[in-house]
Amino acid sequence: MLLYGGYGLVILGLIISLWASWNVNATFKRYEKDYNSRGLTAAQVARQILDDNGLYQISVERVSGKLTDHYDPRANVIRLSDSVHDSISVAAIGVAAHECGHAVQHEVGYFPMKVRSAVIPVTQIGSKFWYIIFVLGLILGGSYMGETLQLVGILLFTAIVFFQLITLPVEFNASSRAMQTLESRYILAGDELKKSRKVLTAAALTYVAALLNSILQLLRLISIAKGNDRRR
């Protein structure tokens, strides 16, 4: 995204993203040795939450990596990473419950999740082509075609920003559902809940950071396009 000159916004966005990534990993590591008093694994907790919500058709599987956990609605599966699946830490249980929160959202038709799913095709196109289209517009300069391509590139990138924006309520709601379930089902209590919440909060901040980073990049693109127009 460093097209030319004035790297301030991009550098600021990079710093925010790096901090958020460091924070979630550091927070998870801080609590991955704090074990829950019931001795439940994250996989067991996930299975319990799914069954309690009547989601018997959704399986729980292991996936390689660290913090690569996700819910796949197409395959009806929650995949828990190596660092989470068999762990009995409050950190791992929080992550597993969060992914179950996404499964419940999908089951009840949570509106922001529907919106996010609807814009995925546009977002996928935008992520592949916005840069090429925008740079081609810069190459063509202040011509009608050049300005049009710059605008299309900006609009495609705006779709990415919108996707990240609608992702925020999806992620925060999933974490809220997770914490409520862990407390109401007496899976975690007291300090265990507090520590698990800190892990989920740190994870949520990565999405906030990604949005801020993209907004800064969008502002940079608009600034570049305007600067190019003034040089006509």
**Residue 229 above 70 pLDDT?**
no
CA torsion sign, 99 to 105 to 111 to 115?
Answer: positive
For 2-31, what is the mean pLDDT? Answer: 81
Q: Which residue among 32, 61, 99, 147 is the active-site one?
A: 99
Supply the DSSP string of 163-229, one letter for each residue.
Answer: HHHHHHHHHHHHHHHHHHHHHHTTSS-THHHHHHHHHHHHHHHHHHHHHHHHHHHHHHHHHHHHHHH
Locate 219 and state its tokens: 């502002």
DSSP 142: T
Could you tell me the pTM of the whole model?
0.88
- Three-class DSSP category at 15: helix
- Residue type at 102? H
pLDDT at position 226, please? 82
Tell me which of 6-15, 144-153, 212-221 is least confident. 6-15
For 51-55, what is the mean pLDDT? Answer: 95
> What's the pLDDT band for 228 if we cut at 50, 70, 90?
low
pLDDT at position 208, please? 95
For 56-69, what is the mean pLDDT? Answer: 95
Residues 138/227, Cβ–Cβ less than 8 Å: no
Residues 133/156, Cβ–Cβ less than 8 Å: yes
pLDDT at position 111, please? 97
Other CB atoms within 10 Å distance of the CB of residue 79:
20
Catalytic status, residue 99: yes
Q: What is the pLDDT of residues 127-181, one digit of tens each?
A: 999 999 999 999 997 788 999 999 999 999 999 999 999 999 999 999 999 999 9
Q: Which residues contact 41 (CB under 8 A, 6 or more apart)?
A: 85, 86, 87, 88, 92
pLDDT at position 25, please? 92
Tell me which of 56-60, 68-72, 105-109, 226-230 is least confident. 226-230
Residues 103/58, Cβ–Cβ less than 8 Å: yes
Q: Which residues contact 111 (CB under 8 A, 6 or more apart)?
A: none
pLDDT at position 8, please? 75
Residues 137/147, Cβ–Cβ less than 8 Å: yes
| pLDDT, averaged across the chain | 92
